[in-house]
């Protein structure tokens, strides 16, 4: 199966921006080809369309050989470049500690990947002492390459990201992720809150791409009742730089356990806070 065409326009933002902190910009510049190589490996291993070609870690929680291979590739390449950096992966957990920490979801949207679908991505976030400072998300089957650096900006295929200007919940498109940690009753309660707001709900199977869609304005909000750090580590900086608002993921314990996460267009923040009782703030980390 051939890889989607590559758009490399966005890869020049960090290396050409004279105001970029060099220790962050350099890491992101070196990490971009690593993510592309990892995505190419995943594409080569992607099953043909059909029933899931994967093992189950839990209810609706798939893992494939590609997940493991992609994480191993990224871990080894990052370690070779920055042996003092920390590393956290979805499949093998925390492997290393450091002032900078890379957080990888080797294939976010594994349930889609395992069925030969296109909506999945490689997600690599960069934290500095626990604070998100950079992120790379690549969905190769969609040819969408996201980059973000704190204080510099965020782009998809070279185009700046900006959160939706929408202010009316009756026109909103909102995604809500599914999780085995959430009861059927809680899921239904949250979905009802969005329906009463007048929004159009949906679920597409990739938390990282849903958050990126909020950053790009394709979605007006995204809610996950229980999500892990590796699912959002790269997307957090995209939301920050695009002007979105979020719940306090790290303040609610997201660094160490599955935590609720709400991201939204700023014009919908007040209505969503009332509807969900989830406080929202500027996405910029404190």
Range of the domain at 122: 9-160
* 87 and 179 together in one domain: no
* 220 and 84 together in one domain: no
pLDDT attached to residue 1: 34
* 114 and 184 together in one domain: no
pLDDT attached to residue 253: 94
pLDDT attached to residue 282: 63
pLDDT attached to residue 8: 44
pTM for this predicted structure: 0.88
pLDDT attached to residue 60: 42
Residues 6+ apart with CB under 8 A from 242: 154, 161, 162, 163, 214, 215, 216, 217, 283
Taking the C-alpha atoms of residue 216 and residue 239, their distance in angstroms, rounded to an integer, is 8
Helices (H), the chain: 12-16, 22-45, 65-81, 110-113, 184-197, 207-216, 229-232, 235-242, 269-276
* 28 and 143 together in one domain: yes
**pLDDT averaged per 10 residues in sequence order, the chain, 286 residues:** 38 42 90 98 88 51 78 96 94 81 95 92 97 97 98 97 96 90 88 92 94 98 95 97 96 94 96 93 55
CATH no. for residue 89?
A: 3.30.540.10
Beta sheet of 144-149, edge-to-edge order: 93-96, 86-89, 100-108, 121-128, 131-139, 144-149, 153-156, 159-160
208-217 pLDDT tens trace:
999 999 999 9
Has residue 1 been placed in a domain? no
* 142 and 178 together in one domain: no
The per-type count for the chain, helices as H runs and strands as E runs, is: 9, 16
Cβ 27 vs Cβ 82: under 8 Å: yes
To which residue do tokens 């065409």 refer? 5
- For 239, the token pair is 């939301």
Longest dimension (CA), the chain: 51
- What SS3 state is found at 5? coil
pLDDT attached to residue 169: 93
pLDDT attached to residue 9: 41
């Amino acid at each position: 199966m051939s890889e989607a065409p590559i758009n490399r326009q966005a890869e020049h933002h960090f290396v050409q921006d004279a105001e970029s902190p060099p220790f962050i910009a350099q890491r992101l510049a070196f990490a971009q080809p690593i993510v592309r190589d990892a995505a190419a490996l995943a594409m080569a291993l992607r099953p043909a369309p059909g029933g899931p070609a994967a093992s189950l870690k839990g209810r609706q929680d798939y893992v494939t050989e590609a997940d493991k291979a992609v994480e191993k590739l990224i871990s080894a390449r990052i370690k070779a470049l920055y042996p003092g950096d920390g590393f956290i992966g979805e499949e093998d957990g925390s492997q290393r500690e450091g002032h900078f920490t890379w957080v990888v979801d080797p294939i976010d949207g594994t349930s889609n990947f395992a069925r030969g679908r296109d909506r999945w991505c490689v997600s690599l976030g960069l934290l500095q002492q626990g604070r998100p400072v950079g992120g790379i998300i690549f969905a190769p089957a969609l040819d969408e390459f996201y980059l973000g650096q704190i204080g510099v900006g965020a782009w998809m295929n070279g185009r700046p990201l900006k959160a939706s200007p929408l202010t009316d919940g009756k026109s909103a498109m909102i995604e809500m992720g599914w999780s085995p940690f959430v009861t059927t009753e809680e899921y239904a309660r949250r979905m009802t809150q969005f329906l009463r707001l007048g929004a159009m709900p949906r679920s597409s199977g990739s938390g990282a791409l849903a958050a990126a869609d909020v950053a790009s304005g394709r979605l007006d909000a995204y809610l996950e009742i229980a999500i892990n750090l590796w699912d959002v580590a790269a997307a957090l900086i995209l939301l920050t730089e695009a002007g979105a608002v979020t719940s306090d993921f790290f303040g609610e314990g997201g660094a160490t356990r599955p935590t609720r996460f709400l991201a939204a267009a700023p014009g919908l923040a007040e209505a969503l806070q009332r509807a969900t009782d989830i406080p929202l703030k500027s996405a910029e980390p404190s």
